[in-house]
């Protein structure tokens, strides 16, 4: 795709110099303002940050210029799909479902997990996405124990899970493998915390957990890739980001906040209201993307056109749930034959394809 290619060498060099200066100067200023940063023993901001992708002053940049990507969530860990069809839909970025983080192979051969599902290596998936000029987001969605029991991450408090220490080790392994591959971004957790801020949730817990999960990856020497950080309320709410986002950003770099657009963005909203919410985050220097938008959730079928107009107006990176051939799944973009899935779902397949092509 044209966004990934043909940027000038001059812009590239200027972006490197600017990011280097800003990262070092901001770190010193932040430590003077907030001495606790020194006690956190944060991994250093790199003196020569890896480009082409970076987060700066609340913007996602490619070679120093703001960029918007449009894409999908996919299930390639269960078998790499038809990327020619993805090209026809103009898909630029893919968020990959990792439902069995414990056993997920990073490289090498496919394996059969404890729950019987075959899992394909992440590097093979990334290589195929890269051949089609797609950015890859790797996101853990679940944990499968040795008995084959799966625990989905959505709605959970990360640090309260019995497997949390094992989770951190596996995520470090993934970061170590993909350092130096800047078109691979890693999300720390899919849709954490109760949808209504229950089960012991607080913004302080969000901040504590996100710091721990982000710093866990950054302590891998050489891992400078973009890290995605979810919102609260199962990823739909920006309230934690507005309350504690600047504290998380202090002394850290290349963080992109991920929000999910379901009820809290699609029901009883307006284009102007959505734009205002996005702009408020940008004004706080919090770079955001929408890692999921779907047409149906627990509340039923929802409209999507107003939201898609708003993210286009704000040039916000947005990914659909879900790239899958399944006529009976209303969120699936494709029917069983690989055509646009428009069955009883507000013409979701055609609607999102138009968004991708605009």
pLDDT, one tens digit per residue, over 241-263 is 999 999 999 999 999 999 999 99
Rounded-to-integer distance, Cα 246 and Cα 53, Å? 21
Question: Regarding predicted confidence, which is higher, 33 or 256?
Answer: 256
Judged on CB neighbours under 10 Å (0-12, 13-18, 19+), 68 is: middle
Is residue 62 in a domain? no
For residues 74 and 94, is the Cβ–Cβ distance under 8 A? yes
Domain assignment of residue 17, yes or no? no
Average pLDDT over residues 337-357: 98
CATH number of 156's domain = 3.20.20.80
The domain total for the chain is 1
List CB contacts of 333: < 8 A, sequence separation 6 or more.
72, 89, 320, 322, 323, 324, 340, 341, 348, 349, 352, 353
8 A C-beta contact, residue 91 and residue 43? no
Q: Per the domain annotation, does 138 fall within a domain?
A: yes
Q: Please, what's the b/e burial string for 163-197 (b: 16 or more CB within 10 A of its CB; e: otherwise)? A: ebeebbebbeebbebbbebbbbbbbbbbbbbebeb
pLDDT in tens, 142-174: 999 999 999 999 999 999 999 999 999 999 999
pLDDT in tens, 262-273: 999 999 999 999
Kindly state the DSSP code that residue 296 receives in the 8-state scheme: E
pLDDT at 46: 86
Question: Which residue is it, tokens 């969000």?
Answer: 206
**Which three-class secondary structure state does DSSP give residue 316?**
coil
Residue 39 forms part of a structural domain: no
Between the alpha carbon of residue 222 and those of residues 37, 106, 186, the distances in Å are 21, 18, 14
Residue pair 355/312 in contact (Cβ under 8 Å)? The answer is yes
Range of the domain at 222: 68-357
Q: What is the pLDDT of residue 274?
A: 98
Give domain status of residue 179, yes or no.
yes
pTM of the model: 0.91
Tokens coding 157: 């408090």
80 vs 139: CA distance, rounded Å: 16
Say if 158 falls within a structural domain: yes
Give domain status of residue 264, yes or no.
yes
* Percent of the chain surpassing pLDDT 70: 89
25 within some domain? no
**Token pair for 152:** 């989905």
């Amino acid at each position: 795709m044209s966004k990934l290619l043909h940027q000038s060498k001059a812009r590239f060099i200027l972006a490197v110099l600017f990011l280097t200066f800003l990262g070092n100067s901001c770190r010193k200023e932040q430590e003077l303002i907030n001495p606790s940063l020194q006690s956190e023993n944060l991994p250093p901001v790199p003196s020569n940050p890896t480009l082409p992708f970076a987060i700066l002053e609340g913007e996602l940049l490619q070679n120093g210029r703001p960029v918007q990507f449009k894409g999908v969530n996919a299930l390639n860990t269960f078998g790499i799909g038809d990327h020619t069809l993805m090209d026809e839909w103009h898909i630029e970025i893919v968020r990959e479902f990792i439902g069995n983080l414990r056993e997920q192979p990073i490289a090498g051969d496919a394996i059969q997990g404890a729950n019987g599902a075959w899992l394909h290596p992440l590097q093979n998936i990334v290589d195929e996405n890269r051949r089609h000029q797609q950015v890859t987001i790797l996101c853990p969605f679940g944990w499968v124990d040795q008995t084959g029991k799966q625990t989905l991450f959505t709605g959970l408090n990360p640090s309260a899970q019995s497997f949390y220490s094992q989770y951190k080790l596996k995520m470090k392994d993934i970061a170590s493998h993909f350092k130096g591959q800047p078109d691979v971004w890693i999300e720390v957790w899919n849709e954490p915390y109760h949808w209504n801020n229950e089960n012991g949730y607080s913004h302080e817990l969000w901040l504590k957990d996100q710091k721990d999960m982000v710093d866990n990856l950054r302590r891998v020497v050489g891992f400078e890739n973009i890290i995605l950080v979810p919102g609260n309320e199962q990823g739909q709410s920006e309230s934690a980001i507005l309350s504690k986002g600047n504290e998380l950003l202090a002394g850290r770099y290349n963080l992109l906040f991920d929000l999910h657009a379901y009820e809290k963005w699609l029901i009883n909203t307006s284009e102007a209201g959505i734009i205002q919410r996005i702009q408020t985050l940008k004004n706080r220097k919090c770079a955001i993307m929408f890692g999921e938008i779907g047409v149906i959730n627990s509340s039923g079928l929802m409209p999507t056109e107003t939201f898609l107009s708003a993210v286009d107006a704000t040039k916000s990176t947005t990914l659909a749930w879900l790239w899958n051939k399944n006529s009976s799944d209303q969120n699936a973009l494709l029917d069983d034959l690989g055509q646009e899935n428009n069955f009883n779902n507000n013409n979701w397949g055609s609607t999102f394809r138009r968004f991708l092509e605009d």
